[in-house]
Amino acid sequence: MLSDDLNACGDLLRRGDPDRFLAAMAAPVAARRVLFPLYAFNLEVARAPWVTQEPVIAEMRLQWWRDALEEIREGGAVRRNELVTPLAEVLDATGAARLEALIEARRWDIYREPFADQAAFERYIDDTSGTLLGVTARALGPADEGVSRDAGYALGLANWFRAIPALEAAGRIPLVDGRPEALRALASEGLARLGRARAARRKVSRAAGPAFFPLWQAGPILARVRRVPGAVAEGALDIAPVRSRLTLMLRASTGYW
User: Same structural domain for residues 128 and 226?
Assistant: yes
Regions of the chain with pLDDT less than 70? none
Q: Please report the sign of the dihedral spanned by the C-alpha atoms of residue 146, residue 148, residue 151, residue 152.
A: negative
From 88, 110, 132, the end of a domain falls on 110
Query: What are the phi and psi torsion angles at 17 (to 5°)?
Result: -145, 70
User: Same structural domain for residues 22 and 65?
Assistant: yes
pLDDT of residue 2: 83
The one-letter amino acid at 89: E
Nearest one of 91, 167, 157 to 130, comparing CA atoms: 157
User: Same structural domain for residues 232 and 125?
Assistant: yes
User: Same structural domain for residues 148 and 255?
Assistant: yes
| Number of CB atoms found within 10 A of residue 20's CB | 24
Task: Note the helical H segments in 106-217.
Answer: 118-125, 131-140, 145-169, 180-199
User: Same structural domain for residues 194 and 234?
Assistant: yes
What's this model's pTM, rounded to 2 decimal places? 0.96
pLDDT of residue 69: 98
Provide the domain limits for residue 82. 1-110
Task: Note the helical H segments in the chain.
Answer: 4-16, 18-25, 29-47, 55-74, 84-90, 93-105, 118-125, 131-140, 145-169, 180-199, 218-227, 230-234, 241-254
From 110, 141, 172, the end of a domain falls on 110
In sequence order, the β-bridge partners of residue 204 are 143
- CATH code: domain of residue 134: 1.10.600.10
User: Same structural domain for residues 26 and 131?
Assistant: no
User: Same structural domain for residues 182 and 217?
Assistant: yes
From 110, 131, 154, the end of a domain falls on 110
User: Same structural domain for residues 221 and 98?
Assistant: no
User: Same structural domain for residues 197 and 83?
Assistant: no
User: Same structural domain for residues 209 and 145?
Assistant: yes
pLDDT of residue 1: 76
Contact status, residue 237 vs residue 161, Cβ threshold 8 Å:
yes
Contact status, residue 214 vs residue 23, Cβ threshold 8 Å:
yes
How many whole angstroms separate alpha carbon 98 and alpha carbon 126? 12
User: Same structural domain for residues 224 and 149?
Assistant: yes
User: Same structural domain for residues 140 and 87?
Assistant: no
Tally of domains within the chain: 2
